[in-house]
Amino acid sequence: MAFVSAWAVPGLAHILIGRRVQGFVFLVSIMALFVSGAVMSDFKGVSREFHPLTFYAQICCGGPTLLHLLLFGKPSADDFKGSIPPLYDAGTLYMMIAGLLNIVVIADALERTMKKQKRGLGLEECGESGAKKGTGGEKSGTCD
């Protein structure tokens, strides 16, 4: 659930696990990167045919990339005849960074979810020393 929601809407998994402020920061920053990249590339920056490796990075952004393809379609060769928008490469790069940043956000949400599940099962990790709080180094109580 967390993976699919985090892929579809950047930051949504953090919002769902209770980290609302962090989730909204991720949502706004990733969407701002993606939308500014789309504007700079004149809405022609998402293309599996012309830029396959770039597309794989962009699709990691999930919902915004799919919405972009739905609204603006794939660019054709005719779109690039004559002149290319001056900020096309930068815009494509911004959308790639948004997708790759979303992968980091997804990994963070999954890690936080797994830690929360471990705490619920009583499987806390106590670090290298294994010392517990308030015991002078003995292994009992809660983690430091």
Reported as a single tens digit per residue, the pLDDT across 90-133 is 999 999 999 999 999 999 988 988 888 888 776 655 554 444 44
Tens digit of each residue's pLDDT (9 = 90 or more) over 40-92: 999 988 988 888 899 999 999 999 999 999 999 888 888 778 888 889 999 99
pLDDT at 144 over 70: no
Residue partners of 135: CB distance under 8 A and separation at least 6: 141
Question: What does the block give as tokens for 9?
Answer: 């809407």
- pLDDT score of 114: 86
Residue 51 confidence (pLDDT): 85
Question: What is the domain partition of the chain in residue ranges?
Answer: 2-121
